[in-house]
Chain A
């Protein structure tokens, strides 16, 4: 296997190998089937690039995560206010709690993860217990009726323990970048070992 790096984007094979490949390509009958040597059309290249960009964009950590306990801290505190406690009807009380927490940075998250008064009653003591410990509520997620430590990892705190928040650079995304890079590098080398796309076989059969 001989390599030629003079024009790597044109071909990675030397002339002799390319000529031998071309001769074989034109001579060989694969059950009556022939193949052309067309390059990837530009729209296809653009679609592949768009797919890669989209893959990272639509899966970015912001989207679709479970709610954190921190998201409901305001709700839990609002439950104990006199104006909420005075309301007998659960639905009206919940509306009041939502209204009291509007206008903050959590509006979108709270809209995506609505709760009923019954849900709140279940998670309230768990969140209050965490608050009394003084832990960071952002490191806990609400899974159904339980408030549990999130299973994120990546960053470390000053004391060396893992921070249970998804870092923006997420380990999974980082692995993906390497994985993708190896893939495209490998396939590019493979394709550039073929005769240049400016050459097309003349099919005799």
Chain B
């Protein structure tokens, strides 16, 4: 792959950037969930690896979070954009070379940023923990080149219309640049106090709402019609979904700070908008489920459809939680507890990861023209991910409710820690299952590239029978 970095753009095979991004994403997923499993072990077994500050929870937690968000999730998005955007425009990617350099700089920047973070150099702002030079680097060498490649590919399309997925890709790549530059203003200009707090959560909320959620959904809008062969149920619902994401997801940042001295009207506004994130969720889930009509057997038979539909179904509890947990009546109880950690994992490891995993499975097989090496390994990956995630989510939700009760009724902290202990062990077990599944996935995709059956030209990988 690296040999193409200095080649002419026209000499680089189509899909090279997508393959580079796809494997990078899986490797970062293995690293990110490995760190997560290690961190969970420290919470389950307090005597596990002590005496070295670099293995302290405080040093490692944000490395896990940002490795997963900007390594796994965002690189899987980039992978999907590199092959889906041109496919939907009946054209080639605008620049494979830019895509390859983008991926290289992405990997280098992320490695540098996470190393610095691990060393303890941090902005101290949750989700935007990177120091500001790394933030600027990510904007300049990660998100802007990605956006340029996506926008130019869409502008150079050979279709008159633009399919729903590409609306989301074009808008999300633009919005994430704005989120990065505006959300990190407190670091660029040393803004402090309430302004810093608000912009920190504006960034955190919008990385989820204007980057991860819309791009994950956009992938499903491609995967389901492409693999099932059904038309997307409704172009109209696609409009409702797209615009409600932009309008309702961009505004509720203040609901993360319901107890802060922000103007109360802003909290009221944000809280209503927070419930209204259910509008895009309803539009998305209904459109995808109705597109599946007559093809539900593929939910059992096809690995990409199984991943995608599972992810879509997770959007229901995700948005029910997200919509209501931020209201004043519920927020006072669950704020600052493990409930929120469970919810964040439902968004990133549940909803979004399942949709991206489908895109990576489908994309790598399609571009490499290789049938998946082992369906058994893919099935194991799916079930380890699903059971591991569910174990994690349920145990952390229960732990969060215990913490909430402890907080409200002023139970001594150590008693809460003792009460939570079994759930911390369950959390570690769930997280470790996810990590194990990802190691199997990496092996499976590596073997697919090397030894997968060749997919004849003009055929989709899922049209061929599995050989193992």
Chain A residues in the interface with B (C-beta under 8 A) = 24-25, 28-41, 44, 47-48, 51-52, 54-56, 58-59, 61, 63-66, 116, 143, 150-154, 166, 170-173, 175-176, 179-180, 183, 186-187, 190-191, 194, 197, 201, 203
Q: Does A64 contact B327, Cβ atoms closer than 8 Å?
A: yes
| CB under 8 Å from chain A, chain B span 64-96 | 84, 87-90
Q: A38-B233, A40-B234, A64-B332 are in contact. Are A176 and B272 (CB under 8 A)?
A: yes
Q: A52-B276, A63-B327 are in contact. Are A32 and B226 (CB under 8 A)?
A: yes
Additional pairs, 9, CB under 8 Å, beyond known A55-B274, A187-B239, A201-B231: A31-B84, A32-B226, A34-B232, A35-B225, A36-B231, A55-B272, A153-B265, A179-B247, A179-B269
Q: Does B273 contact A40, Cβ atoms closer than 8 Å?
A: no
Give chain A residues whose Cβ lies under 8 Å from the Cβ of B225: 33-35
Q: Does B234 contact A176, Cβ atoms closer than 8 Å?
A: no
Q: Who on chain A is nearest to B166 by CB?
A: A30
- Listed residue (A25, A39, A64, A153) with the most chain B CB atoms within 10 angstroms of its CB: A64
- How many A-B pairs have beta carbons closer than 8 Å: the answer is 173
Q: Who on chain A is nearest to B328 by CB?
A: A64
Stretch of B109-117, B155-163, B211-219, B368-376 contacting A (4+ beta carbons < 8 Å): B155-163
Q: B197 in the interface, Cβ–Cβ < 8 Å?
A: no
Q: Does B163 contact A30, Cβ atoms closer than 8 Å?
A: yes
Q: Does B263 contact A153, Cβ atoms closer than 8 Å?
A: yes
Q: Does A172 contact B268, Cβ atoms closer than 8 Å?
A: yes
| 13 pairs from A and B in contact (CB 8 Å cutoff) | A28-B161, A31-B84, A34-B232, A35-B232, A36-B231, A40-B236, A51-B282, A55-B276, A64-B328, A64-B332, A171-B265, A172-B271, A197-B236
Q: Does B88 contact A30, Cβ atoms closer than 8 Å?
A: yes
Q: Does A191 contact B275, Cβ atoms closer than 8 Å?
A: no
Give chain A residues whose Cβ lies under 8 Å from the Cβ of B240: 40, 48, 187, 191
Q: Who on chain B is nearest to A43 by CB?
A: B286
Give chain B residues whose Cβ lies under 8 Å from the Cβ of A170: 264-265, 268
Give chain A residues whose Cβ lies under 8 Å from the Cβ of B239: 187, 190-191
- Write the B128-150 contact mask toward A (1 if CB under 8 angstroms, else 0): 00000000000000000000000
CB distance from B367 to the nearest CB of A (A): 14
Q: Who on chain A is nearest to B161 by CB?
A: A28
CB distance from A18 to the nearest CB of B (A): 14
CB distance from B255 to the nearest CB of A (A): 9
Q: B418 in the interface, Cβ–Cβ < 8 Å?
A: no
Q: B261 in the interface, Cβ–Cβ < 8 Å?
A: yes
| CB under 8 Å from chain A, chain B span 240-258 | 240, 243-244, 247-248, 251, 258
Q: Does A172 contact B269, Cβ atoms closer than 8 Å?
A: yes
Q: B17 in the interface, Cβ–Cβ < 8 Å?
A: no
Q: Who on chain A is nearest to B226 by CB?
A: A33
| CB under 8 Å from chain A, chain B span 260-307 | 261-276, 278-279, 282-283, 286, 290
Q: B457 in the interface, Cβ–Cβ < 8 Å?
A: no
- Listed residue (A28, A194, A203) with the most chain B CB atoms within 10 angstroms of its CB: A28
Q: B379 in the interface, Cβ–Cβ < 8 Å?
A: no
Q: Does B261 contact A151, Cβ atoms closer than 8 Å?
A: yes
Q: B324 in the interface, Cβ–Cβ < 8 Å?
A: yes
Contacting residue for A64 out of B232, B290, B331, CB 8 A:
B331
Give chain B residues whose Cβ lies under 8 Å from the Cβ of A38: 233-234, 236-237, 290
CB distance from B443 to the nearest CB of A (A): 30
Q: Does A59 contact B268, Cβ atoms closer than 8 Å?
A: yes
Q: B421 in the interface, Cβ–Cβ < 8 Å?
A: no
Q: A24-B160, A166-B264, A183-B247 are in contact. Are A191 and B269 (CB under 8 A)?
A: no
Q: Does A33 contact B279, Cβ atoms closer than 8 Å?
A: no
The distance in angstroms between the C-alpha atoms of A47 and B87, with both chains bound, is: 34
Give chain B residues whose Cβ lies under 8 Å from the Cβ of A36: 231-235
- Listed residue (B90, B231, B236, B261) with the most chain A CB atoms within 10 angstroms of its CB: B236
Q: Does A44 contact B237, Cβ atoms closer than 8 Å?
A: yes
Q: B222 in the interface, Cβ–Cβ < 8 Å?
A: yes
Q: Who on chain B is nearest to A66 by CB?
A: B259
Give chain A residues whose Cβ lies under 8 Å from the Cβ of B89: 30-31
Q: Does B328 contact A65, Cβ atoms closer than 8 Å?
A: yes
Contacting residue for A173 out of B163, B164, B222, B268, CB 8 A:
B268
Give chain A residues whose Cβ lies under 8 Å from the Cβ of B251: 179
Q: Who on chain B is nearest to A38 by CB?
A: B234
The distance in angstroms between the C-alpha atoms of A55 and B270, with both chains bound, is: 11
CB distance from A158 to the nearest CB of B (A): 22
The distance in angstroms between the C-alpha atoms of A150 and B332, with both chains bound, is: 18
- Listed residue (A66, A143, A150) with the most chain B CB atoms within 10 angstroms of its CB: A66
Give chain B residues whose Cβ lies under 8 Å from the Cβ of A190: 239, 243
Q: Does B265 contact A33, Cβ atoms closer than 8 Å?
A: no
The distance in angstroms between the C-alpha atoms of A180 and B279, with both chains bound, is: 11
Q: A38-B234, A47-B282 are in contact. Are A30 and B161 (CB under 8 A)?
A: yes
Give chain B residues whose Cβ lies under 8 Å from the Cβ of A33: 88, 163, 222, 225-226, 231-232
Give chain B residues whose Cβ lies under 8 Å from the Cβ of A32: 87, 226
The 7 closest A-B pairs by CB, nearest first: A64-B328, A172-B268, A55-B275, A172-B269, A172-B265, A171-B265, A31-B87
The distance in angstroms between the C-alpha atoms of A171 and B269, with both chains bound, is: 8
Give chain A residues whose Cβ lies under 8 Å from the Cβ of B164: 35
Contacting residue for B283 out of A30, A44, A154, CB 8 A:
A44
